[in-house]
């Protein structure tokens, strides 16, 4: 898998959308109480989304 820095803008946007959908599903499962083992993945997913947004802003400002 390519790192965030190696992705172009379109691929990064697609990956960002997928990550946001996945985070929403995890939050829903957490609210229902069915997310036991993967509860630590929510924080990691949020951080990854932040990294992608940071990279997109860097690309935009260049």
Domain boundaries, the chain: 4-61
Contact 59, 9 (CB under 8 A): yes
What torsion do the CA atoms of 26, 45, 49, 27 make, to the nearest 10 degrees?
Answer: 20
- Give 3-58 pLDDT, tens digit per residue: 888 889 999 999 999 999 999 999 999 899 888 887 889 999 999 999 999 999 99
For residue 12, what is the enclosing H or E element? Answer: helix 9-32
pTM summary value: 0.88
Task: Note whether 49 and 13 are within 8 A (CB).
Answer: no
């Amino acid at each position: 898998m390519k790192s965030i820095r190696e992705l172009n803008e379109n691929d990064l946007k697609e990956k960002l959308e997928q990550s946001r959908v996945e985070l929403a599903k995890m939050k829903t499962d957490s609210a229902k109480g069915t997310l036991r083992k993967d509860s630590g993945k929510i924080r990691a997913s949020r951080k990854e989304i932040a990294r992608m947004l940071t990279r997109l802003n860097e690309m935009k400002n260049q």
